[in-house]
Chains A and B, each alone.
Chain A
């Protein structure tokens, strides 16, 4: 725990949580959509969206825990 730095974090932006959620859904949703097109399946898009949202939430928690 080398926490001797000044606590000026770079995640002071309150909209970071929103950005991470949107970015997670957009990226992994697109990956899922592309996977569906490629493999001819239907379930990868919803899985990707939920996975992206979960990842966005997780990143937000991780970044906040750090502060």
Chain B
């Protein structure tokens, strides 16, 4: 009903989930489309950035080396060391640094001209990345506590004793081993998806109101919509950084939780 009304009045098709189904690059298979290419590009960019900035490392750093070390130091100190603690953190720094910058670049692709699609607006990619984190923290936990020790570690919450444990144990187990990776992936995916949808709506809607609507009165509204699209782009920049940060931070927290000693 609503759809019919809109098309009769305007001829404007509002954006929807269909806008995220991009054309396959080769043949008919949807397995490899633009977002897949973006993942590869982001990987190459992250590798290239750190390779170039660390290749000729000198005591007196060049500008590039300084930038690289700042970027590396940010994740190393303010995520890895602060969360995991100075005893164990170095082992996880390479993964956390790569993860953060891979995410950051993929998210910022949502605003880069001619790319303009955040790769993790495809849910499957977010689930894949969350699976990596899941494997990491569970692997670390099993390595540290042994399989049964780790299951006990993740199922018996601190501060709970007595027969109520029978009720709590399945709850805690599901919460730590199943809900965690799902929320991790969903948070990233939903933020990227919603942000992209919002930008598409404001730009296409503004363009339509400004150029194609018959009513003259609609034109200033179109200008406002386009201005808002620019404002939302800045908001999105913040969200893109924040989501990369939160994903990395939570990965570090899960690793720390798996490593923690028994109470």
Residues of B within 8 A of A65 (CB): 159
Q: Do A23 and B178 touch (CB < 8 A)?
A: yes
Q: Do A59 and B157 touch (CB < 8 A)?
A: yes
With both chains docked as a complex, state the minimum distance between the C-beta of B155 and any C-beta of chain A, in angstroms: 11
Q: Do B250 and A8 touch (CB < 8 A)?
A: no
CA distance in complex: A63, B257 (Å): 13
Q: Do A16 and B175 touch (CB < 8 A)?
A: yes
Residues of B within 8 A of A15 (CB): 180, 183, 250
Q: Do B157 and A12 touch (CB < 8 A)?
A: no
Which of these, B159, B171, B250, B258, contacts A20 with CB under 8 Å? B171
Q: Do A55 and B167 touch (CB < 8 A)?
A: yes
Q: Do B176 and A19 touch (CB < 8 A)?
A: yes
Q: Do A9 and B260 touch (CB < 8 A)?
A: yes
Tell me if B160 counts as interface (CB < 8 A to partner A).
yes
Residues of A within 8 A of B256 (CB): 8, 10, 12
Residues of B contacting A: mostly? helix
Interface contact tally, CB-CB below 8 A:
83
The size of the chain A interface, using a CB distance under 8 A, is 29
Tell me if B19 counts as interface (CB < 8 A to partner A).
no
Contacts A8-B261, A63-B160 aside, 18 further interface pairs with beta carbons under 8 A come to A6-B261, A8-B260, A10-B258, A11-B158, A12-B257, A16-B176, A19-B180, A22-B183, A23-B172, A24-B171, A26-B174, A27-B171, A52-B171, A59-B160, A59-B168, A59-B171, A63-B158, A64-B159
Chain A residues proximal to chain B, CB less than 8 Å: 5-6, 8-13, 15-16, 18-20, 22-24, 26-28, 52, 55-56, 59, 62-67
Chain B residues proximal to chain A, CB less than 8 Å: 83, 85, 153, 157-160, 167-168, 170-172, 174-176, 178-180, 183, 250, 253-254, 256-258, 260-261, 263
Q: Could you show 17 A-B contacts with beta carbons less than 8 Å apart?
A: A8-B260, A9-B260, A10-B158, A10-B257, A11-B257, A13-B180, A15-B250, A19-B176, A22-B175, A22-B179, A23-B178, A55-B168, A56-B171, A59-B160, A62-B157, A63-B158, A63-B159
